[in-house]
Structure 1
């Protein structure tokens, strides 16, 4: 019996239980069907993911398209360099008091014989700032502290309190009015008007400094420094603490 006749006979043989004969699927056809099923399964998974993310994907797609086609799209490039350390100073200041101030600055600059609507400027700012009163311990030496023979009294001689430069709080400050004439507004198109703001802030700083100097801020710093040293030195075992300024 040849191989062909054996294959034909095996193909027509019935199963042991009398069932109809089974035909085997050719290998190439099975591979094609498996590939198609796998492709369909993969496509289903991809569609499911895209369906879940369709809103985010759509928004991102439109953002890319709109930003790519918009000729006025802006971008920011940071070319700043690493900060360079210039100096370090050791400070020995005891800040004993602080005063908060608010000042209204009203500056007007007129051009002679020219109406205000054409040339001129008026700026009204509400400026907030603070001033520290401190005692500088930097130059204190052993002669600044004297202890009595019995060890019960200590006398400390300190320099007079000083007032620091006013600190302007730009976040708390605000502009109420900024009126400019036509010529000044046209000039702003070519050059930012920062000089006027700097001038107004400088005026506010001077006014705050004068107000602090005319107040009892230095006296408050003197009293607070005295009470602080009395508490510290009394805890060290001294019965009497004398603080002198001068």
Structure 2
């Protein structure tokens, strides 16, 4: 008995069968390359992740002389939009709403303190220390607390992601978040808190060694 599918298959010319087969091969090929485009589809094929990374190699060691006296936690909402000239957003363009959370440390570099910056009286009961001003470290973005709220991309951008080695890259918004966090740290009074904490630490340390009067100042 001839099924309807076989009858249709017989009516198709040879070139049509070849084109159909080629399309099927291309679909399977690109599906294998971008399998992650369809959530959950990888599980049907039993994918397995193997870590073949080599051991970490120690390249250098640096002695730390700075005293981390304060740390600030910051959160910023980044709304980054990229538009293309002469093309509507539905065709080319992107907009990402990203929540960036990170920390900035404030420190005093005690390694810059020289002999002339420390004065002790003859009775060793009074000490004066002149330290460099507190500075800010580099902002560190916390990947556990940072995330994209929404992403809008044009048709050409979505197609480009299919052939990209790093689809949906958030590098641009992450860099902007780090910059915004760094700018916020400068206006937060974090360095003043670091200097106050450093003063308290040194006074407590020297007073435990017998000094009754301890003065700490900060230079340029």
- Give the TM bin, normalised by the shorter chain: 0.7 to 0.9
How many residues align? The count is 177
Question: Which of residues 159, 166, 170 in structure 2 aligns to 1:186?
Answer: 159
Question: Which of residues 202, 205, 220 in structure 2 aligns to 1:229?
Answer: 202
Question: Which of residues 157, 174, 180 in structure 1 aligns to 2:130?
Answer: 157
Answering whether residue 171 of structure 2 is matched by residue 198 of structure 1, we say yes
Matched residues in 2 for 1:215 and 1:74: separation?
Answer: 48
Unpaired runs of at least 5, structure 2: 1-42
Matched residues in 1 for 2:72 and 2:78: separation?
Answer: 19
Matched residues in 2 for 1:71 and 1:134: separation?
Answer: 52
Residue aligned with 1:172, SS: coil
> CA RMSD, aligned part only?
1.7
1:226 positional shift:
0.7
Question: Which of residues 103, 106, 127 in structure 1 aligns to 2:79?
Answer: 106
TM-score by length of 2: 0.76
8 Å CA contact 2:161, 2:167 repeated in 1: no
Question: Which of residues 205, 216, 219 in structure 2 aligns to 1:243?
Answer: 216
Larger displacement relative to structure 2 (201-210 or 139-148): 139-148
8 Å CA contact 2:118, 2:128 repeated in 1: yes
Unpaired runs of at least 5, structure 1: 1-69
Matched residues in 1 for 2:125 and 2:94: separation?
Answer: 67
Matched with 1:171 is 144
Matched with 1:19 is none
Question: Which of residues 114, 118, 138 in structure 1 aligns to 2:91?
Answer: 118
Matched with 1:141 is 114
TM-score by length of 1: 0.68
Matched residues in 2 for 1:195 and 1:213: separation?
Answer: 31
Answering whether residue 66 of structure 2 is matched by residue 93 of structure 1, we say yes
Matched with 2:53 is 80
Greater RCO structure (CA 8 Å; 6+ sep): 2
